[in-house]
A and B are shown apart, each in its own frame.
Chain A
Amino acid sequence: MSGGAATAGLVADPRPRREDPRLLTGQGSYVADVRLPGMLEAAFVRSPLAHARIRAVDTDAARAAPGVIAVLTGADLSDVEPFPDLRERTRPVRQRALCIDRVRYVGAPLAVVVAEDRYLAEDAAELVDADLEELPVVADMDAALAPGAPLLYDDWPDDRIVATAPVDPELDAIFETHQVVRGTYRMQRHTAMPMETRGVVATVERGRLLVWTSTQVPHVVRTVIARTLGLPEHRIRVVAGDVGGGFGSKLHVYPEEVVIPALAWRLRRPVRWIEDRREHFLASSHARHQRHDLEAAVDERGDIVAVRGDLVCDVGSGEILPPGVAPAFVSAGSITGPYRFPRSQARLTCVVTNKTPSGAYRGFGTPEIVFALERLLERVARETGQDPVELRRRHLIRPEDLPYETPNGRRIDSGSHLEAFERAVAWAETTRERLAPTARGSIGVGYANYIEGVSPNYHATSGLWAQQETSTLRIEPDGTVVVASGLGPMGQGTETMLATLASQLLGVPHDQVEVRLGDTDLSPYGLGSFGSRSTVVAAGAVQLAAGRLLDKVRTIAGHLLEASATDIELVDGRARVVGSPDRSVGLAEVAHLAYFRTFDLPPGTEPGLEATGAYEQPGVDHRPNAQGKLNICLTYANSTHACVVDVDRATGVVRLLAHLAVHDAGLLLNPQVVDGQIMGGVAQGIGGALYEQLLHDADGQPLVTSFMDYLVPGAPEVPELTIDHLSTPSTTTPFGLKGAGEAGATGVPAAIANAVCDALRDTGIDITQTPITPSSIRAALRATPDPTTTEGS
């Protein structure tokens, strides 16, 4: 590619976000704010049972209820195609938009009522009478793994949706000839829980389907609607508007995103459905429910020569697109973390159970394995008589190891793994000194080191989309600039980021750039926002588009200035001759020629000023190779978390006193925004470590369906975070950028667990599961009696 944009760098631009004024004044446009003339409202009838055969769904009474326009069941929508099962090596679930003959979790959609308003729709929904024949419930992963377990899918031989069985006799031999340290680690079911629930509004406008939905992936939603409803993609427009948080939960395409459009299409009237919070607990993706049996083989020097694991993930009913097995593959593929363990192996089993389908949540499988691995390292240190800090230090990737390929095929191009850890250790030692324990409390310090994949190739995950991202840049006749992208922002400041990219890569003032996002009619096909990819892939796409557009600007400006095109640069919205800045023309003059005085264009120059760049990430694998290795991401950011906790020995209450994130995300395009991503991630990590839990009883009935029981951390639970940035550019990404969306959440459960165990080290407590609740600590203290400990109540 020619042009200044190819060589120009990017610089940090810490400006306030352009999204903020509208969001601060109540002028945002979330899906629930969409209001159309004649709009009807929908309410879903959801399964009260975790597992049942549907005998019949009687809708007569509901149809006769006041204000009801339509009631549809799965049978009424049998012409809607099942969600495509696209992922390889994954058993098909043939998910239906509305269930037809089987329900597999409490909350599965059975029918939908459309009425004049939501109150009437909900009244009528209560009158729908589903005749369900109860089936035996598979309530948890052990039940699913048991021989002869009841089947969720009658044509499967068991309840395993995915099972890998790697074979490596050499590795087995290593474990037979070395000291082996093992542990079983569990992470509880919890989830993203954005403050905005999901919602869909659909209408038919001039023969086309217009759909608003709260999603991270507008174009992908469009593709799925087209495939399930049998409509051409060009007759569907999906608009995301402002999205009130997603964190992965809104990268899935959900049944309601098909049902509401189908209703609008049939009724030829606008229909709105806004998920309520209870529904969100039942019908939006859960996450993180994994159990890891990990083993480390240790040689006589105390070095870890191999790790292996048997990972089990409970994916709930499995009826979700893309499948919920994908994060567990990332857990398995991340089993060595940022450590130089020469060999590794991860066997993965994903089981279906009668619970809400699980899926993506910030960190995408990494928090689970980091928790297990960092706890195992503590155990190795203890069982081999080593200092855990020294053990980590000795095994971390060093600068001279880079680029480094993990045994699983992750190609780590850059990073500051050891330096990040050293900084954390220095911080923790001084911080511990200046903090005093509470009266019955003890202070402890914990660490977690990890790498976070940035910008994945999503093909192995989804079986459909992969990794491209496309941006269009256009200079309008007055010289203002439009950048359009298919990203799906959910609060990360993507609009500001795109304006910054266009402004810097084109050479125009920031406020001269307008951003078009989240609307499939206004942008080229994009894959949306997930996997810490937005800034990286947008930079790649905008760089390409800007280079092309600049070439044309140079040609026209050179013509106007009687200079060679190669001597023209665009600075601050003016095209000028390099070396003689007084010879310049404004972008508006260039655009005037391109659009109006086209007869004055240099010969062979097409009118108009628009260019599109489609970025495809180099060097990233879309499926594992013959050895099972998979370089799934474009780069890998590294981070170390450290925290200091106080544990009350009588009550078991953990207080997080101080928390540090040393984070290396390369160049920070907007440092304040990156800090915000880390802070928010850490708060979610605290929730997962200490408070949040989606529990079910033995019948698969959810026990947690409101914020009264699901404890999202509030301000008092989240301490001031200290962020220490290192900045190692990636060698594989545009401008060396690395993403920062997910990493904040990943290290927290491990760091807190390690700190709690450090605080209570005299008792020998060994935390192996989250959440670390007061009662779990009291139970552990009772199990490891210590004369100085008062028995907790």
Chain B
Amino acid sequence: MNDLEPVDALDIELRVNGSAVRRRVPVRRLLSDLLRDDLSLTGTHVGCEHGVCGACTVLLDGQPIRSCLQLAVTADGCEVTTVEGITPADGSLSPLQAAFRDAHGLQCGFCTPGFLMTLVAADPAEHPTDGSIDALLSGNLCRCTGYQNIRTAVRRAWGRDDEGNASAGSDTPLGSGTSSGSGAS
């Protein structure tokens, strides 16, 4: 385009969760708003609009990005994947989602889609220790879980046992991480 006049809206074409989307979009519209309000993909949540909390994380051409910091028009020609797009078509849970459920890795669930999107894009081999899992998760805030069960879910989803990293990660804070019950006194 050689037209340098400012425009209010642009026509864009992108693929969202595998489907083609064509829209005329105001140039200042955020990708998060396009997804949530225009496409009704409300699984992507907005927790801060400052790029800090990670709740709005989606994949743009396979890379996790903050959809609250990205203008929708800049996704023109891209492939966007949201939490709806990583859910099996029959509505069941993917192994990662099931691991979150089984490990009680979510409470209110508001942060959860962001964590899931960060994790689906990650290579487990690059995160061999609990400490490196923490580093991976450090861009996503959760106010409910204290992260411990999220860590457990990640280990399980990545085929590690619950204790597996206790010896491997020297940068890992110690503590058994287990819960023991005693009978009624």
Contact surface of A with B, Cβ cutoff 8 Å: 16-17, 19-21, 23-30, 32-33, 35, 119, 192-197, 242-245, 247, 274, 276-277, 416, 419, 431, 434-435, 490-493, 655-660, 668, 671-673, 675-676, 679-684, 706-708, 712, 714-716, 718-729, 744
For the complex of A and B, list the 3 residue pairs with the smallest distance between their C-beta atoms, beginning with the closest.
A26-B43, A491-B108, A23-B109
Provide the residues of chain A in CB contact with B145, threshold 8 Å: 676, 679-680, 683
Question: B167 in the interface, Cβ–Cβ < 8 Å?
Answer: no
Residue of A nearest to B142 (CB): A195
Q: Are A492 and B107 in contact (CB under 8 A)?
A: yes
The contact of B48 among A245, A277, A657, by CB within 8 Å, is A277
Contact surface of B with A, Cβ cutoff 8 Å: 26, 28-29, 36-37, 40-50, 52-53, 55, 82-84, 87, 91, 93, 97, 100-102, 104, 106-113, 116, 130-131, 133-135, 137-151, 172-185
Q: Are B101 and A683 in contact (CB under 8 A)?
A: no
Q: Are A419 and B185 in contact (CB under 8 A)?
A: yes
Measured in the bound complex, the distance between the Cα atoms of B107 and A675 in whole Å is 11
22 contacts between A and B (CB under 8 A): A19-B109, A29-B42, A33-B42, A195-B142, A277-B50, A277-B53, A657-B173, A676-B146, A679-B149, A680-B107, A706-B52, A707-B141, A712-B143, A718-B148, A720-B174, A721-B146, A722-B175, A722-B177, A723-B178, A725-B179, A727-B181, A728-B185
Provide the residues of chain A in CB contact with B40, threshold 8 Å: 35
Q: Are B55 and A195 in contact (CB under 8 A)?
A: yes
Q: Are B143 and A119 in contact (CB under 8 A)?
A: no
Provide the residues of chain B in CB contact with A727, threshold 8 Å: 181-185
User: Given A24-B109, A715-B151, are A675 and B173 neighbors across the interface (CB < 8 Å)?
Assistant: no
Measured in the bound complex, the distance between the Cα atoms of B156 and A158 in whole Å is 59
Provide the residues of chain B in CB contact with A431, threshold 8 Å: 174-175
Provide the residues of chain A in CB contact with B142, threshold 8 Å: 195
The contact of B175 among A20, A197, A244, A719, by CB within 8 Å, is A719
The contact of A716 among B46, B111, B135, B185, by CB within 8 Å, is B135
Provide the residues of chain A in CB contact with B104, threshold 8 Å: 16-17, 672-673, 675-676
The contact of A720 among B50, B140, B176, by CB within 8 Å, is B176
User: Given A708-B50, A726-B185, are A244 and B42 neighbors across the interface (CB < 8 Å)?
Assistant: no
Q: How far is the CB of A564 from chain B (nearest CB, A)?
A: 34
Q: Are A24 and B46 in contact (CB under 8 A)?
A: no
Q: Are B41 and A196 in contact (CB under 8 A)?
A: no
Q: How far is the CB of B157 from chain A (nearest CB, A)?
A: 12
Of B42, B138, B143, most buried by chain A (CB within 10 Å of CB) is B143
User: Given A242-B109, A715-B134, are A25 and B53 neighbors across the interface (CB < 8 Å)?
Assistant: no
User: Given A720-B148, A724-B180, are A119 and B26 neighbors across the interface (CB < 8 Å)?
Assistant: yes
Could you list 20 further interchain pairs (A-B, Cβ under 8 angstroms) beyond the known A679-B149, A683-B147?
Answer: A16-B102, A24-B93, A24-B109, A26-B87, A30-B42, A119-B29, A196-B108, A277-B47, A277-B48, A675-B179, A676-B144, A680-B145, A706-B50, A714-B134, A715-B133, A720-B148, A724-B180, A725-B182, A727-B182, A727-B184
Q: Are A26 and B84 in contact (CB under 8 A)?
A: yes
Provide the residues of chain A in CB contact with B182, threshold 8 Å: 724-727
Q: How far is the CB of A578 from chain B (nearest CB, A)?
A: 27
Measured in the bound complex, the distance between the Cα atoms of B183 and A728 in whole Å is 9
User: Given A194-B143, A195-B110, A676-B149, are A722 and B176 neighbors across the interface (CB < 8 Å)?
Assistant: yes
User: Given A195-B53, A707-B48, A720-B177, are A35 and B37 neighbors across the interface (CB < 8 Å)?
Assistant: yes
Q: How far is the CB of A30 from chain B (nearest CB, A)?
A: 7
Measured in the bound complex, the distance between the Cα atoms of B140 and A646 in whole Å is 25
User: Given A17-B104, A195-B47, A715-B151, are A491 and B109 neighbors across the interface (CB < 8 Å)?
Assistant: yes
The contact of A21 among B45, B55, B93, by CB within 8 Å, is B93
Measured in the bound complex, the distance between the Cα atoms of B151 and A714 in whole Å is 12
Measured in the bound complex, the distance between the Cα atoms of B149 and A195 in whole Å is 17
Q: Are B179 and A723 in contact (CB under 8 A)?
A: yes
Q: How far is the CB of B82 from chain A (nearest CB, A)?
A: 7
Provide the residues of chain B in CB contact with A744, threshold 8 Å: 146
Residue of A nearest to B52 (CB): A707
Q: Are A193 and B112 in contact (CB under 8 A)?
A: no
Q: How far is the CB of B172 from chain A (nearest CB, A)?
A: 8
Provide the residues of chain A in CB contact with B43, threshold 8 Å: 25-28
Q: Are B107 and A491 in contact (CB under 8 A)?
A: yes
